[in-house]
Structure 1
Amino acid sequence: MAKETRLEALHRALTEKAGQPVLFGDLVRAVWGDTPPSSPLPALRTLVRRLRQSVDDEIVTDASGYRLVVRLPGPSQLPADLPDFVGRREELAALSSSDERVLAITGPPGIGKTALAVRLAHRIRDRFPDGQLHVDLRGFATGPTVTTTQAVGRFLRALGVPPPEVPPGLDEQVELYRSKLRGRKVLVLLDNATGLSPLVPDVEGCAAIVTSRNELPGQTGLGVLTDGEADVLLDRMKIGGSPDDRAELVRLCAHLPLALRIAGAQLADRHLPDYLADLRGDDRLDALEIEGDAAVRAAFALSYQALPDDARRLFGLLSVHPGADFGPASAAVLGETSTEEGARLLGVLARAGLVQQSGERFALHDLIRLFASEQAGTDGPPALRRLLSFYLATASNAAGVVSPGLTRLDPIPLEVEGREFATADEAGAWLDGKRGTLVAAVQVAPHPFAHRLTDAMRGYLNYAGHRPELGVALESGLASARAAGDRPGQAAMHNGFGHLHWVLGAYPKALESYGEALELTESPVVRATLFNNLGLVRRDLGDLDGALADMEEARRTVPEESALHANVLMNLGTIHGARAELRQAVAHLTKALRRHEEAGAWVRAAVCHENIAVAHIELGEYDEARPHLESAMAGYERYGMADSNKPNLLANLADVADQAGEHDQARAFATEGLELARRFGDVRVEVEALIRLGEAREAAELADRIDYPVGRRKALLEIAVHDRALAAEVLADVRASGDRLLEAKAVLALALASGDHGLALEALELARAREQGVVVRRAEEFLAGSAAPAAPSAQPPANGGSTSS
C-alpha cells in the first residue's frame, strides 16, 4: 500500500473530526509525527492552502486550529414533474440527446413549454450531479418580472454564497456565479425568459433549459398537441365520453394542454355533453378553432362561472398579488376573510384547475392571472392596498425586532394590522420567507407604499447582506416618492442609499446620498440621523474635524432622552478615539453604554463594549480591553449578530493577543477575521485584517480601491519602517490629514526607518501627551536600543462597530 502523503494525512485528520476545530498542534503531529518542520505553523498553512484547492469541502480557520465543513449536496430546485405529461416524444428525444449547452423551448402561451422543460430537466438531471437551479423569470407576466440581479443573487445563495458576500454589481455577480459553477455539472432551468441572458451559464459541464414565447437561437418550437396526444391526455385525466364528444372537446380547446387541463378539472364531476354545450357557444366556435388564447379563455370562463361566489371573488383579487406565489394568509387579506377561510377557498380554486398548488404555496399561470385580472374589476385596487397595508405593518413589526434603533419614517394609518413577532428569529424567518414578494411589492406598489416598504426593510436587507435586493427596492422607492413629490420619502430613500454605499466602501457616493437627503428634510430627528451618518463616513475617510462637527451637530439637534442621542454619543466616542482623545472617548462610550443598557438596547450596548475595548487597546490597557471584547461577543451572539460583527471583533482580539505575546493566537484571530470579512463583504475590516497578517501592500491596494485613506495610511506605515522615503511621505500625509491617532506612529516609523533618536523622542512626547501606551513603549524600547529598525510599527485597533441610523 502506498504511503499516505502529507496532504492526505491532513485531510484525514480534519475529516475524522468534521465540523469540529482541530488544534494546530494536533494537525502538525498528524502530518509530520515526531519530526515537525522548524516553522510548523507556516508549513501547516501552506499545506492547508493546497488542500483547499484540491477538495470540495470548506476548510475554516478557527481561533486555535482548522475545521473542515463538509460540502453539502448541490441545490435541487426543479419543480415537480407532471404525472400526466403526454406527447412531445420527438422533441423530448431530440432535446435529451443534444449536447448543446442551451436547450431553448419556444411557443405561444398555454402550449406546454414549462411542462416539457420540467419533464426534460428530470430526464437529464442525472448528468448534472452537482445540482439543478430553477427560476421563473416571469418575463410575460402582468406583474413585475424577476430581474437578472435578483435571479443571480438567488442562484448564488443556492450555490452556498452567503448573502453578504454577493457583490453589488451585476458584472461581478455574474462572474462569481460562473466561478461557482466552474468544475461543476449544474443544470439551470430558466422559465418564461424574454431572451438569453447572463443567467445562461457559459461554463463547461453546465447546461441551461430556457423557455420563452419569443424566438431564441437553436430553438425547439412547440405546436399544439396532435389528436392522439390530446386523446392520451384525456385518458390520463380520466375523462370519459364518446369518441366524437372527446374529439370536439379537443377541438374546442384548440389542442392546447393548458385549456384541456382546465377542462379536465371541471369534468371531474360533470357530464361531458353538458360541458360541451356550455363551451361550444355558437358565436364563438369559429374564433375558438383559430385562436388558442380564445380557447384557453373559454375554458377559464366555464371554470370561473362554475365557482361559488366567494371563490370567484377571491380568484379575481389574487391577480393583484405581486409575488410569484402566495399562501392562505395573503389570500385572506385580499378576500377580507380569515386565514382558515382563505385556505379553504384556495383549495376550491386548485381543484378547479385555476390555481396551481405546491405544498402550502399557490400560484397563478400567467394566462390565468391575466384572465383573473379582468374579473377583479374595481375591487382590485382596494384589495392591493389591503395587502400592501398588511405587508407594510408586518414588515415594520419584524424590522423593529430584527433591526431596532434605525430612524424610520413616521407610521401612517393602515387598513390592516400586521403580524406581531415575539423573537428576532421569528421575525427574521418571516422576512426571509417574504423577501422576494416584498421586493416585488415595492416595484408595483402605489404611493406611499413603495418607499415605506423599502424604509421598513432596509435595515434587514442591509445587515442580512441582501444588498442587490436592497438596491432594487431603493430605486423603486425613490422613483415612487419623486413622482409623488414626497420629500420625506425621498430623504428616507437617499438615507438608505447612503448606508448601502457606506457598507460597500463607496464613501464619496455615501456622502452624496446623505447630502441629498439633508436637502430634502426639515425633521430635526432625521437631520440628526443624517449628521450622525455623515460623521461616520467622514471618520472613515480620515476627515476627523468634519466628522466631529457633524456628530456634534447631531448631538445638538436630537433630544437628549432619545435612543438616537445615545447612539450619537457612542459614535462621538469613536471619533474622539480616532482624534487620539482617548479618555474623552472612553467617557462618551461609557455614558452611551449605560444609556443603552438602561433602555435594553443590548446590541448597541455590545457595540459600545467593543469600542471601549478599542480605546483601551490604544491606551495600552489590554487587561481592561479583553473583558469588554468578551462582553461584546456575548451581546452579538445573544441576538444572532455574531457572524456579521465577528470580523471586526477578531481584528481587535488579534491586537490584544499580539501585545500579550500570543503571536500564533493573534495570527489565528486575524486569519479568521479576514475570511469572515470577505464572506460578509466588509471590505474595511478586510483591510484591517490584511495589515495584521503582514499583507500590508495588498491592504494598501485594497484601501486605495475603496477610497479608504485611513486604512491605506495604516498599511503603508507597516512598510514604511523599512523605507525612509516612504516613511517621510506617509508622515506628511498623516499630518496633512489631521490624523492625530496615527501621527505619533508615523513619527516613530520614520525614526525606525532612519535610526533618528530625535524623531523617536518626538514620537515619545506625542504619544505620552495622548496616552498612546503602545507607542510610548515602542519608542522607549527604540531609545533604549532594544528595538530593531525592521520591527513593524504599532497599529491602531480597528474601530468597533458603528451604527448608522
Structure 2
Amino acid sequence: MAKETRLEALHRALTERAGQPVLFGDLVLAVWGAAPPTSPLPALRTLVRRLRQSVSDEIVTDASGYRLVVRKPGPSQLPADLPDFVGREAELAALSTSDERVLAITGPPGVGKTALAVRLAHRIRDRFPDGQLHVDLRGFATGPAVTVGQALGRFLRALGVPPAEVPLDVDEQTALYRSRLRGRKVLVLLDNATELTRLVPDVEGCAAIVTSRNELLGQTRLDVLADDEAGALLDRMKIDGDPEDRAELVRLCANLPLALRIAGAHLADRDLPDYLADLRGEGRLDALEIEGDAAVRAAFALSCKELPDDVRRLFGLLSVHPGADFDLEDATALGDLSTEDAERRLGVLVRAGLVQRPGAQFALHDLIRLFAAEGVGQEGPAALRRLLAFYLATANNAADVLSPAGSRVEPLPLDVSGRGFTTPDDARAWADAKRATLVAAVQIAPHPFAHRITDALRGYLVYAAHWPELAAALTSGLASARAAADADGELAMHNGLGHLQWLQGRYPQALESYGTALDLAGTDVQRAMLHNNIGLVKRELGDFDEALEHLEQARRMSSDHPHVLANALTTLGTIHGARGELRKAVFYLKEALARHEELGSAVRAALSHENIGVALTELGEYDEARVHLEKALAGVEAAGVGPGRRANLLVNLATAAALTGEEERARALAAESLEVALRNGETRVEVEALIRLREFENAVELAERINYPVGRHRAQLELARHDRALAEQVLVDVRARGDLLLEAEAVLTLAVASGDRALAQEALDLAKAREQGGVVRRAEAVLADLAGPAAQPPANGGSTSS
C-alpha cells in the first residue's frame, strides 16, 4: 500500500472534521507527525494553498486553524419530466449511450424536441453528479432571445461564482465558465438554440443536449411520432374510441405530439367522433394535406373556437408577454382583470392544453404563442403598456425600499399602483424572481418605459451585482431614449453606464459616459450629481486636485438639493482622506452624516459612520473609530444591506481591534469577515481579512490575481519587515501609485528592515504631516529602539523588529 502523501494527510485531517475548525497544531501533527519542519506554519500555509488548487471542497481560514467546507451539491435546473412521455425509444437508446459531448436534437416545431431532450437529460443525469444546467434560449420565440452573455451569467452564478465576479465580456465569461466546469461532470441542456455556441462546454467530463429547429452538426433529426407511438400517447391521455377514429385523429394531428396534446385536452369531456367532425371542418383540408404546423394550427383553432369569449381574449393577450413564462399578476395586468377572473380564465386555458403550467409559473409553447398573436388584434399594444406600467410601478416600489435615497428620472404618471413591499427582503425576492422577464421587457418596451424601468431596477442590479443584465437593460434603455430624443432619459442611461463602468474599474469609459451625461444635463441638480460621479472616478485615478474641483462644483450646485449635497460631502470626505488630509476628511464626513440622518437615509448614514471609522483609524483614534464602525455595522444589518458591506465592516473592526492590542478579538472578527467574504465573493475583503489573520503570502497571491495593489502592498509590507529588498520595492510601488496613506508606513517598514534611523525620522515626519496617529506612535517607537547604544544596521539585509 502506497504511503500517504502530506497533501493526502492534510486532506484526510480536514475531512475527518469537515465543517469544524482544525487547529494549526493538530494539522501540523497530522501531516508531519513528530518531525515538523523548522517553520511549520508557513509550510502548512503552502500545503493548504496546494490543496485548495487540487480539491473542489472549500478550505476556510479560521482564527486558529483551517476548516473544510464540503462543496454543496451542484445546480439541478432540469425541468420536470413529462409524465405522459411516450415513444422515441430508438432515439433515446442511441443518445443515452453516445459518448459525444454534444447531443443535438433537431426537428420542426411541435415534434417533441424539448420533451425528448428533458427525458434524455433525466435518464443520463446520474452520469453528471456535479449538476445540471438548463436555459431556454428562446431562439425562435416572438420576444427577445436570451443572449449568450446572459445565459453564461446565469450559469456562472449557478456554479457558485459570486455575482460581483461575473465578468461582462463574453470571452472572459466563457473562460471562467470552462474553468468552473473543469474537473467536474456537469450536463447542460440548451433548449431552442439557433446554433452551437460557447454555451456548449468544451470540457472533459461535461456534455450538452441541444434542441433546435435548425440543422446542427451531429444531429438526431426528429420526425413525427410513429403510428404506434401516437397511439400510446392517446392511451396515456386516456383517449378512448374505436381504432378507426383514433387513427384518424392521429392523421389529422399529423402525428405531432403538440397537436395531439391539444386535442387530448379537449377530449377529456367530449366524444371523439364529434371532435373529429369539428376538426375536419376546421382544417378544411384533406387529411393527407394536413402536415407540420398546419396540423397544430387546426387543433389550436378548434380549441380556440370552443373557448368562451373572455378566455379567448386573455389567451390572445398573453402572446404579447415578453418573457419565457408569466405569473398570475402578469395575466391580471395584461387582461385588465381582477385576480379571480384571471385565475379562472388561466385554469380554462391550462385544461384546454393551450397554456402549460410547469410549476408556479405559466408558459406558452413558442408555436402556440405565434398562433395566439395572430388573433390578438388591436388590444395588443394597450395590453403591453398595461403590463409595462405594472412592472414600472412595482419596480419603483421595490427601489423605494431597496435604495430610497437613489436618484431617479422624473416619475411617469401611472394609473396602477403595482405590488407593494414592506421589507427589503420582499422587494429583493420579487426582483430576483422577475429579473429575466424585466430585462426582456426593457428590450421590447416602447418609450418612455424602457429607460424608466431600467432606472428603477438600476440600484438592485448594481448592489446584487447582476452586471450582464444591467448592461443589457442600460443599452436598450439608451437606444429607446435616444430614438425619442428624450435628453433626461439619455442622461439617466449614460449615468447608469458610467456607474457600471466605474464599478468594473473601467475608469476611462466611465469618464466618457459621465461626460456625455453632463453635456445633456439641463438642471443644476443633474450637473451636481454628475460632477460628484466624475470626482469619484478622478479619485480612483489619483487625480485628487481635479476630483476636488468637480466636488466643489457639485457642492455649489446642490445647495438646494439635500440628498445630492449629502452625497457630495461624503465624496469630498473620501477625497481628502485619500490626499492624506484626514482631519478635513472627518469634518466633511461628519457633516454628511448629519445631513443623511436629517433626511432619514439610514443606509447612507451607516456608510458615513463606516467612512468616519476608517478615517479615525488612520488618525489613531481607535476608540472613537470603533464606536462609528459598530454603528455602521448595526445600521447595515438593520437595513438589510448586502453581506459584502458587512464583511468589509467586520474587517475594519478587526483592524481597529488589532491596533489596540486586542489580538484575539481581531482574529475572531477577521475570521468571520473572511467567511462572509468567501461566501459572497467579496475578494478584496478576503485579502484584507487574510492580512489580519497573518496569512500574508496568501493575501499577496490573491491580491495579485484580482489586481488589488493596495491590498498587495499592505500584505507585502508585513513580509518586508525582514526583507530589505522587498521593502525598497514596495516603497517604490507605493510612491508610483501616489498612495499617500501607505507612504509613511512603507518608509517605516524600510527603516525597520534596514535599521536606518534617518528613514524612521522621515516616516515620522510624513505621518505627522498627514496626522496618521498610529503610524506616528510606531515611528517614535522605532526611533527610540534605533537610538539605543547597541542599535546597528543588521547584517545581510536583515532587520530589527518593531
> How does the TM-score come out when normalised to structure 2?
0.90
CA deviation after TM superposition for structure 1 residue 263, in Å: 1.0
Is the deviation greater in 663-672 or in 328-337? 663-672
Select the residue among 721, 725, 735 that pairs with 1:722: 725
Q: State the match for 2:426 in structure 1.
A: 426
Q: Distance in 1 between matches of 2:140 and 2:453?
A: 25
Q: Which amino acid aligns with 2:516?
A: E
Q: State the match for 2:519 in structure 1.
A: 519
CA deviation after TM superposition for structure 1 residue 483, in Å: 1.4
Q: Which amino acid aligns with 1:284?
A: R
1:488 aligns with 2:497: no
CA deviation after TM superposition for structure 1 residue 404, in Å: 2.5
1:373 aligns with 2:363: no
Q: State the match for 2:552 in structure 1.
A: 552
Structure 1 711/521 Cα, relative in aligned 2: closer, same or farther at 3 Å?
farther
Q: State the match for 1:157 in structure 2.
A: 157
Q: Distance in 2 between matches of 1:316 and 1:413?
A: 27
Residues 129-168 of structure 1 mapped to structure 2, 5 A cutoff: 129-168=129-168
Residues 331-410 of structure 1 mapped to structure 2, 5 A cutoff: 331-410=331-410
Partner of 1:278: helix, strand, or coil? helix
Q: State the match for 2:631 in structure 1.
A: 631
Q: State the match for 2:773 in structure 1.
A: 773
Structure 1 24/609 Cα, relative in aligned 2: closer, same or farther at 3 Å?
farther
Alpha-carbon RMSD across the aligned residues, in angstroms, is 3.4
Contact kept in structure 1, 2:753 and 2:798, CA below 8 Å: no
Residues 106-255 of structure 1 mapped to structure 2, 5 A cutoff: 106-255=106-255
Structure 1 243/665 Cα, relative in aligned 2: closer, same or farther at 3 Å?
same
Q: Distance in 1 between matches of 2:673 and 2:714?
A: 17
Q: State the match for 2:257 in structure 1.
A: 257
CA deviation after TM superposition for structure 1 residue 27, in Å: 6.1
What are the Cα deviations for residues 662-720 of structure 1, in whole angstroms up to 9, with x where unaligned? 668767866876786677566765776787754587588568x68x7x77887887869
Q: Which amino acid aligns with 1:456?
A: A
Is the deviation greater in 752-761 or in 645-654? 752-761
Q: State the match for 1:105 in structure 2.
A: 105
CA deviation after TM superposition for structure 1 residue 302, in Å: 0.5
Q: State the match for 2:322 in structure 1.
A: 322
Q: Distance in 1 between matches of 2:609 and 2:315?
A: 54
Q: Distance in 2 between matches of 1:660 and 1:482?
A: 56
What are the Cα deviations for residues 578-615 of structure 1, in whole angstroms up to 9, with x where unaligned? 22221221122222223323433222222112211211
CA deviation after TM superposition for structure 1 residue 356, in Å: 0.5
Structure 1 93/774 Cα, relative in aligned 2: closer, same or farther at 3 Å?
same
Q: Distance in 2 between matches of 1:243 and 1:760?
A: 100
Q: State the match for 1:453 in structure 2.
A: 453
What are the Cα deviations for residues 308-366 of structure 1, in whole angstroms up to 9, with x where unaligned? 11110110000111111111111011111122221221111000000001222110000
Residues 298-313 of structure 1 mapped to structure 2, 5 A cutoff: 298-313=298-313
Structure 1 779/722 Cα, relative in aligned 2: closer, same or farther at 3 Å?
farther
Structure 1 425/311 Cα, relative in aligned 2: closer, same or farther at 3 Å?
same
Partner of 2:377: helix, strand, or coil? helix
Q: Which amino acid aligns with 1:116?
A: L
Q: Distance in 1 between matches of 2:34 and 2:630?
A: 36
What are the Cα deviations for residues 54-97 of structure 1, in whole angstroms up to 9, with x where unaligned? 54432223455544433222222222222222222221221122
CA deviation after TM superposition for structure 1 residue 639, in Å: 2.7
CA deviation after TM superposition for structure 1 residue 568, in Å: 1.9
Contact kept in structure 2, 1:96 and 1:124, CA below 8 Å: yes
CA deviation after TM superposition for structure 1 residue 267, in Å: 1.5
Structure 1 16/551 Cα, relative in aligned 2: closer, same or farther at 3 Å?
farther
Partner of 2:210: helix, strand, or coil? strand
Contact kept in structure 2, 1:64 and 1:665, CA below 8 Å: no
Q: Distance in 2 between matches of 1:138 and 1:312?
A: 24
Contact kept in structure 2, 1:262 and 1:300, CA below 8 Å: yes
CA deviation after TM superposition for structure 1 residue 559, in Å: 3.4
Q: State the match for 1:798 in structure 2.
A: none
Structure 1 769/729 Cα, relative in aligned 2: closer, same or farther at 3 Å?
closer
Q: Which amino acid aligns with 2:245?
A: D
Structure 1 2/691 Cα, relative in aligned 2: closer, same or farther at 3 Å?
closer
Structure 1 578/456 Cα, relative in aligned 2: closer, same or farther at 3 Å?
same
Q: State the match for 1:475 in structure 2.
A: 475
Structure 1 699/636 Cα, relative in aligned 2: closer, same or farther at 3 Å?
same
CA deviation after TM superposition for structure 1 residue 103, in Å: 0.8
Structure 1 24/391 Cα, relative in aligned 2: closer, same or farther at 3 Å?
farther
Structure 1 628/793 Cα, relative in aligned 2: closer, same or farther at 3 Å?
farther
Q: Which amino acid aligns with 1:398?
A: A
Q: How many residues align?
A: 789
1:503 aligns with 2:506: no
Residues 612-651 of structure 1 mapped to structure 2, 5 A cutoff: 612-641=612-641, 643-651=643-651
CA deviation after TM superposition for structure 1 residue 395, in Å: 0.9
CA deviation after TM superposition for structure 1 residue 375, in Å: 1.2
Partner of 1:419: helix, strand, or coil? coil
Contact kept in structure 2, 1:699 and 1:715, CA below 8 Å: no
What are the Cα deviations for residues 483-517 of structure 1, in whole angstroms up to 9, with x where unaligned? 11111111111111111111111122211211111
Contact kept in structure 2, 1:451 and 1:477, CA below 8 Å: yes
Q: Distance in 1 between matches of 2:358 and 2:342?
A: 16
Contact kept in structure 1, 2:266 and 2:352, CA below 8 Å: yes
Contact kept in structure 1, 2:107 and 2:221, CA below 8 Å: yes
Partner of 2:591: helix, strand, or coil? helix
Contact kept in structure 2, 1:727 and 1:753, CA below 8 Å: no
Q: Distance in 2 between matches of 1:559 and 1:125?
A: 62
Q: Distance in 1 between matches of 2:726 and 2:246?
A: 90
Contact kept in structure 1, 2:188 and 2:209, CA below 8 Å: yes
What are the Cα deviations for residues 541-578 of structure 1, in whole angstroms up to 9, with x where unaligned? 11111111212211111135622322222221111112
CA deviation after TM superposition for structure 1 residue 770, in Å: 2.9
Q: State the match for 1:278 in structure 2.
A: 278
Q: Which amino acid aligns with 2:315?
A: F
Is the deviation greater in 682-691 or in 197-206? 682-691
Partner of 2:84: helix, strand, or coil? coil
Partner of 2:362: helix, strand, or coil? strand
Where structure 1 has 5 or more consecutive residues not aligned to the other structure, the ranges are: 795-805
Q: State the match for 2:528 in structure 1.
A: 528
Q: Which amino acid aligns with 1:260?
A: L
Contact kept in structure 2, 1:653 and 1:669, CA below 8 Å: yes
Structure 1 148/463 Cα, relative in aligned 2: closer, same or farther at 3 Å?
same
Contact kept in structure 2, 1:61 and 1:668, CA below 8 Å: no
Contact kept in structure 2, 1:620 and 1:772, CA below 8 Å: yes
Q: Which amino acid aligns with 1:143?
A: G
Q: State the match for 2:89 in structure 1.
A: 89
CA deviation after TM superposition for structure 1 residue 213, in Å: 0.4
Q: Which amino acid aligns with 2:725?
A: H
Structure 1 26/426 Cα, relative in aligned 2: closer, same or farther at 3 Å?
farther
Structure 1 500/428 Cα, relative in aligned 2: closer, same or farther at 3 Å?
same
Q: Which has the higher contact order (CA 8 A, sep 6+)?
A: 1
Partner of 1:323: helix, strand, or coil? coil
CA deviation after TM superposition for structure 1 residue 633, in Å: 2.2
Q: State the match for 2:71 in structure 1.
A: 71
Contact kept in structure 1, 2:153 and 2:166, CA below 8 Å: yes
Where structure 2 has 5 or more consecutive residues not aligned to the other structure, the ranges are: none
Partner of 1:572: helix, strand, or coil? helix
What are the Cα deviations for residues 382-440 of structure 1, in whole angstroms up to 9, with x where unaligned? 00000000011101111221122211111111232211100001111111111111111
Contact kept in structure 1, 2:637 and 2:646, CA below 8 Å: no
Q: Distance in 2 between matches of 1:422 and 1:792?
A: 59
Contact kept in structure 1, 2:261 and 2:353, CA below 8 Å: yes
Q: Which amino acid aligns with 1:326?
A: F
Q: Distance in 1 between matches of 2:501 and 2:798?
A: 36
Is the deviation greater in 189-198 or in 250-259? 250-259
Partner of 1:267: helix, strand, or coil? helix
Contact kept in structure 2, 1:356 and 1:364, CA below 8 Å: yes
Contact kept in structure 1, 2:81 and 2:115, CA below 8 Å: yes
Q: Which amino acid aligns with 2:644?
A: S
Partner of 1:356: helix, strand, or coil? coil
